[in-house]
Amino acid sequence: MQSIKKAFLPVFIFARTGMRRSFRDKTALFFVFLFPLIFLFIFGGIFSKTGGVTFKVALVNQSNSDFSRQFVKQLESNKVFKVDAAAGSLDQAKEKMSRGQLDAAIVLPSDFGVPKGQAYPRGQAKVYYTQNSQSAAQTLTSVLDAVFVGVNGKFVKVDTPFTVTSEQLNTRSLKPFDYTFSGLLGFSIIGLGIFGPVNVFPELKKQGVLRRLHTTPLKVWQYFIANILTQAGVGIISILLQFIVAMTVFHLHLAGNIFELALFIVLGIVTIFGVGMAIGGWAKDVNQAAPLSNIVVFPMIFLSGTFFPRYLMPTWLQKVSNFLPLTPVIDGVRLIATEGKHLTALGPQLGLMLAWTIVIYFIAFRVFRWE
Amino acid sequence: MFCVKLLNTLTEKWYLMGSMAKHMVEVRNLTKKYDDKVAVNGISFEVNKGEIFGILGPNGAGKTTTLEMIETIRDIDGGTITVDGVDVAKHPQEVKYIIGVQPQSPAFMDKVKLTEHLEQLASAYGSRVNAKQLLDEVGLTEKANAYVENLSGGQKQRFSIVASLVHQPQVFFMDEPTTGLDPQARRNLWDLIRETRDKGVTILLTTHYLEEAEMLCDRVAIMDNGNIIALDTPKNLIKQLLARGFKKTQHVEQANLEDVFIDLTGKELRD
């Protein structure tokens, strides 16, 4: 008991010092805490606009009829259309469309809504679109079509034997942001677990800090565990911050249990940190560490589905990427955060992570150099 | 049966403690090769208990390599080293408890307080220390909460010594301890090294400064190209040189430029 306590004394003291140091180092503070938040705001800003499909359109009304005015008002209040008030003429709309700022332009010609001697008004709206917005224009046309079917029905009673209705099944579905946030968490885990040690350890070697430690009885496993604890502690705080921002600013919907997710993320950091330890512990200097970490990290980020779903990849690539160390981490975070799965249901992911942890740390121990 | 086991453990402990060892450090036919280059060429020497032993020599003579092999951090290609009777190659972990090492550069992490450094290093030996008291002893009381990167050169060196002695080793290795220090800081460090020796710690150091070796060391070994070419007390080495018929142009100086410098600027330590 006494000897166990003695063996873990340096682990505890080194981890405590490491934690304190992380909070004193302004550069580390930026990269560990602020950098992920900046990412969060960028991606959150892109993906948080939800509530279904919207079209940015220009509405050019060339008609003076009451009907056209009312029709415009209705379209403007429709959530599907985002009417750009600045594009009042067709020429302005065309210019904006060519820059990709508008999906389409809806033109109501001068005779739109004029009765023309009949009992009710009539007219034909025209949708202009560019090559790049074909699918948007098609959807838009059918939406307008549906609107006109409703309008027509008010003027002319038509019998409709066949109709279709739709009903929403689940109360909440996956928003793009929810999916992206899981990817961002994975990205933070990589940042903490790989980029951290890959930069820090060669620097400590350069300063001779590790050489000094090498002359003490400190063992590699004690130093490893102390570093894992520091990294996991810092990681949890950083990820907690991201959660707070994601939930308050971007209304993140977390399907699973937050404590299970936290535990899973810690396990993920431990696994991925092994990769960083192996590279940083092996490299003699930054020049050796940087290229190797880039070769390992960047393919892994994309192949493991951090930002793009893996089902978009060809099948053979999916099969290969199944076995990358980051894949079970990303999958697991996503399963808990967006599908509400429990840790008990993540057997395959946890198993693969355990296998990788053993392999990676075995390598890391073997290749570690104090100087 | 139990008695035999106990006896074995005791003798093992006895052996490890090495109280029987005649010399603090014994080096026998030590060899180190880097690829084809011989860095240390089968050298032998002893360091007596309680002495200050200096290794002198030009750059690339093999001083640091020799020191690093004794310090357990470089593999030994040939020969043996024992520290207080313990074989370095066979029991490096035990040797690490007996030795204290001061690297050439201070080699401390930034953004860590002095007290935290000492606690951290002590924990590596499985012990706890009164960090404040240790800092008192070298006049760094007021810097307890400072970071190493904010200390002056002399303060850094003094702190480095305390840090290396945190586990009360029996032998202390210093690699070029006074390089880059001003005369005041250098004198202060000499005093500190002598005080450390007076506490019973054997000291093995390397240096470029010959007057430093002459003033500080009980015995010196001069190395060149991986060989020890002379080993004796500074006095004897000079005597031998004179006996070989060496003559220096005689002009007895009453003082040298360093004396002028110290007289003008004072002995007081500048931090």
Using one digit for the tens of pLDDT, what is the confidence trace for A1-59? 778 888 999 999 999 999 999 899 888 788 888 888 888 888 777 766 555 567 888 88
A271: distance to nearest CA of chain B, Å?
25
Which residues from B are below 8 Å from A21, CB to CB?
Answer: 109, 111-112
Partner B contacted by A216 (CB < 8 A): yes
B173: closest chain A residue by CA: A215
Question: Within 10 Å of residue A236's Cβ, how many Cβ atoms?
Answer: 16
Partner B contacted by A8 (CB < 8 A): no
Q: What is the pLDDT of residues A130-168, one digit of tens each?
A: 887 788 888 888 888 888 888 888 888 777 788 787 776
d(CA A328, CA A178): 18
Q: Do B108 and A17 touch (CB under 8 A)?
A: no
Per-residue model confidence (pLDDT) at position A272: 94
A196: distance to nearest CA of chain B, Å?
15
Q: Find the mean pLDDT for residues B38-47.
A: 95
Partner B contacted by A13 (CB < 8 A): yes
B125: distance to nearest CA of chain A, Å?
6
A201: closest chain B residue by CA: B109
B172: closest chain A residue by CA: A215
Partner B contacted by A135 (CB < 8 A): no
Per-residue model confidence (pLDDT) at position A168: 64
Token pair listed for A155 = 């003027």
B247: distance to nearest CA of chain A, Å?
44
Q: Do A211 and B96 touch (CB under 8 A)?
A: no
The burial class, CB within 10 Å (0-12 / 13-18 / 19+), for A18 is buried
Residue A31 is classified by DSSP as I
Q: Do B107 and A214 touch (CB under 8 A)?
A: no
| 3-class SS of residue A60 | strand
B209: distance to nearest CA of chain A, Å?
23
d(CA A93, CA A62): 14
Q: Mutation target for B interface from A1, A12, A17, A30: give the one with most B CBs within 10 A.
A: A17
User: Which range has the worst mean pLDDT, A284-298, A328-342, B114-128, B243-257?
Assistant: B243-257
The contact set of B with A (CB < 8 A) is 71-73, 93, 96-97, 99, 101, 103-105, 107-112, 116, 119-121, 123-126, 128, 167
> Across A198-202, A233-237, B122-126, B237-241, which has the greatest mean pLDDT?
B122-126
B111: nearest CB among A6, A21, A371: A21
* Contact partners, residue B79, CB within 8 Å, separation at least 6: B27, B28, B29, B30, B31, B42, B43, B44
A212: nearest CB among B97, B103, B119: B103
Q: For residue A222, name the pLDDT band (cuts at 50, 70, 90).
A: very high
Which residues from B are below 8 Å from A229, CB to CB?
Answer: none
Per-residue model confidence (pLDDT) at position B18: 46
Which residues from B are below 8 Å from A14, CB to CB?
Answer: 120, 123
Q: What is the pLDDT of residues B151-209, one digit of tens each?
A: 988 899 899 999 999 999 999 999 988 888 888 888 889 999 999 999 999 999 998 88
Q: For residue A174, name the pLDDT band (cuts at 50, 70, 90).
A: low
A366: distance to nearest CA of chain B, Å?
16
Which residues from B are below 8 Å from A8, CB to CB?
Answer: none
Partner B contacted by A215 (CB < 8 A): yes
Report the predicted TM-score, pTM, of the whole model to 2 decimal places. 0.78
Q: Find the mean pLDDT for residues B129-153.
A: 93
ipTM value of the model?
A: 0.85
Q: What is the pLDDT of residues B72-100, one digit of tens each?
A: 999 999 999 999 999 999 999 999 999 99
Which residues from B are below 8 Å from A204, CB to CB?
Answer: 109
Q: Do A21 and B119 touch (CB under 8 A)?
A: no
**Cα angle B10, B13, B18; round to 5:** 125
Is the predicted pLDDT of residue B249 greater than 80, yes or no? no
User: Which range has the worst mean pLDDT, A301-315, A323-337, B178-192?
Assistant: A301-315
CB B138 within 8 A of CB B102: no
Which residues from B are below 8 Å from A6, CB to CB?
Answer: 126
Which residues from A are below 8 Å from B108, CB to CB?
Answer: 207, 209, 212
Partner B contacted by A209 (CB < 8 A): yes
B4: distance to nearest CA of chain A, Å?
24
B93: nearest CB among A7, A209, A217: A217
Q: What percent of chain A has pLDDT over 90?
A: 30
Q: For residue A90, name the pLDDT band (cuts at 50, 70, 90).
A: confident
Inter-chain CB pairs, A–B, below 8 Å = 68
B84: distance to nearest CA of chain A, Å?
16
